[in-house]
Amino acid sequence: MKSLFLLSILALIGNTAFAQQKVYNITAYGAKPDAKTNNALSIQKAIDAATADGGGMVLIPAGKFVTGVIDLKSGVDLHLDANAQLLGSTTRADYGPKHASALIVANQQHHIAITGKGVIDGQAVELLKDVYKRLHDGTLEDNEWNVYNPWHQMRPSEANRPKLIEFINCDDINIKNITLKDGLSWVQKYNQCSNMIIDSMRVESTTYWNNDGIDLVDCKNVKLTNSFINADDDGICLKSEDPKGICENIYIANCTIRSSASALKLGTASFGGFKKITVRDIKVYDTFRSAIALESVDGAVLEDIDIRNVTAKNTGNAIFIRLGQRNKKADPGKVRHIYIGNVKAEIPSGKPDKGYPTEGPASRFPHNVFPSSIVGIPGYPVQDVTLENIEITYGGDAKKETAHFGLDSLDKVPENIAGYPEFSMFGELPAWGLYIRHADGIKIKNMTLKYQKDDFRTACIFDDVTGLNLNEVKIPTAKTYPVILFKNVTNPLLKAIQIPGDSKETIKKL
């Protein structure tokens, strides 16, 4: 916590320094708030003037200012007044000829900020129209848009869809109070950045695929607090794209997330590592996939994760932890030393993001409700995971005619070692509450699992698990025996297990 305190002091000092410096109003450099003029050159002149003078505040005043790509420089606070709207150009050519630049970029800069209560709007719907027009005219190169994707419709590649913000190798960053709206790809990407304060940010971006709310990629010393994110893709996502990189010392707290993918995710890109990640007081709602997803599939070490106080309503899955091997050029990574506590989740029988502008992709196979899961691969277990004070309520209403997986077929649950990590990656599972396979050192204390309508499946299955400790596990609504099934589990420690019925029938070992 000492490093987080230092980050707060740095942010306070930085804000004071910005406040004491000169203000560079973009209208003084020719910018026009007419919602049609591309003001990129005028805004860039103001930024360049500020950084040449040693830094200052570049002011976006009230009004609608259209812009193309702008390059943020060291010492500059790009400040949007409360009634200011910075509108991304709806002309694809304004973002470069091939790989689309983000709207606001910075590379190897320090002491930079985007602040104020204004809005940065990517105008994704209108921009997408121009992208499609150019693709059909043959004036825009794209190797993916006309290739059928079984998960989605045909679509332009991410390379042709601009982000709103992309900072690379920057230090001492302050993002505060702004609203980010309608990006056409990831809303914001911070790649190998350090010492970041992100506070009271609002993201509303549900217009198209791959629309992550925020991506922290191999970043260090980040504090993300008091923010709201409504995104088509993952809400808050930490990634590691560099085998030598790492996401480290990240603090996330007091955030509300709505996603048509996963709310809080570490992965999928997982080449380097994730370490010392702390999460507190998160609310999740109407989210298609997992409230919490921790994934290493490209060789990353994912460790020292502490997540507490998560409330998830109308969410497709509560907790998903996966160690896989998608990257054949590297040995499997490690997933270990994880604590998740004080979680209350409600998992419906239906699609939780139904009706949103761009829903998560429909499953390719019929299935019943998916359980929470912790799954490694043979010889590479997930290690040292504690789940404490967990309450998950499932919609239930499972039907054998929808999908049936008998307990005599546990060996047929696919390993899918190289598969894309998500809670449905193994197909229909034979458990409704909790499924754990290839794990070591699993401690579960004070967990309640229940359903609203009957489910014909076993509640909990533990397969190839060593060092299992179950303490105060309550499953009050289970009617199918066995309620808990152990397969290849050596000497599990059981205490205060509360299940209706005779324990000889409710708990079974294979």
> For residue 350, which phi and psi values (nearest 5 degrees)?
-95, -175
Structure confidence at residue 404 (pLDDT)? 86
- Listed in sequence order, the residues at least 6 apart from 266 whose beta carbon sits closer than 8 Å to its beta carbon are 237, 238, 247, 274, 277, 293, 294, 295, 302, 305
Question: What confidence tier does 150 reach under pLDDT thresholds 50, 70, 90?
Answer: low
Give the Cα separation of 503 and 250 in Å (integer): 43
Contact 198, 225 (CB under 8 A): yes
Query: Which has the closest alpha carbon to 182: 150, 213, 205?
Result: 205
pLDDT score for 12: 47
* Per-residue model confidence (pLDDT) at position 117: 98
Tell me the per-residue pLDDT of 75-87, one tens digit each, with 9 for 90 and over.
999 999 999 999 9
CATH superfamily of this structure's domain 1-194? Single-stranded right-handed beta-helix, Pectin lyase-like (2.160.20.10)
State the sign of the Cα–Cα–Cα–Cα dihedral 86, 91, 96, 102.
Answer: positive
Residue 11 in this model has a pLDDT that exceeds 60:
no
Side-chain-side CA neighbours of residue 94 (13 Å): 21
For residues 321-349, average pLDDT: 96
Q: Is 60 within 8 Å of 26 (Cβ atoms)?
A: yes
153 — pLDDT class (breaks 50, 70, 90):
low
Q: Which residues pair with 458 in a beta bridge?
A: 431
Mean pLDDT of 292-298: 98
Peptide bond before residue 150 is cis, with ω within 30 degrees of 0: no
pLDDT tens digits, 485-498: 999 998 999 999 99
Quote the tokens at residue 34: 């007419």
Q: Specify the pTM.
A: 0.95
Q: If residue 337 lies in a helix (H) or strand (E), which one and from where to where?
A: strand 334-347
Mean pLDDT, the chain, integer: 93
Q: Which two tokens stand for residue 254?
A: 């007091």
- The answer, yes or no, to whether residue 4 has pLDDT greater than 70, is no
pLDDT band at 116; cut points 50, 70, 90: very high
Identify the band that residue 407 occupies on the pLDDT scale cut at 50, 70 and 90: confident
pLDDT at 364: 83
Looking only at the bridges linking them, the beta strands covering 228-231 and 264-270 are: unpaired
Extents of the domains making up the chain: 1-194, 234-510
Residue 293 has pLDDT above 50, yes or no: yes
pLDDT value for 19:
53
The model's confidence at residue 46, banded by pLDDT at 50, 70 and 90, is very high
Q: Over 90: is that where the pLDDT of 291 sits?
A: yes
- The proportion of the chain whose per-residue pLDDT surpasses 70, expressed as a percent, equals 94
- pLDDT score recorded for residue 444: 98
pLDDT(3) > 70 = no
pLDDT greater at residue 405 or residue 109: 109
Q: What are phi and psi of 185, to 5 degrees?
A: -145, -150
Region 147-153: mean pLDDT is 56
Q: Which position has the higher pLDDT, 157 or 264?
A: 264
Taken as a whole, the chain contains a residue count of 510
Which of 13-27, 136-150, 212-226 has the highest average model confidence (pLDDT)? 212-226
For residues 70 and 88, what is the distance between their CA atoms, to the nearest angstrom? 10
**Strand pairing class (214-217; 188-191):** parallel
State pLDDT tens for residues 207-222. 888 899 999 999 999 9
Tokens, residue 90: 């709806």
In terms of Cα–Cα distance, which of 389, 313, 391 is closest to 348?
Answer: 313
Three-state DSSP class for residue 282: strand
Structure tokens at 12: 């306070």
Instruction: List phi, psi (to 5°) of 450.
Output: -150, 165
* DSSP state string for 136-174: HHT-S--SSTTS--TTS-----GGGS--SEEEES-EEEE
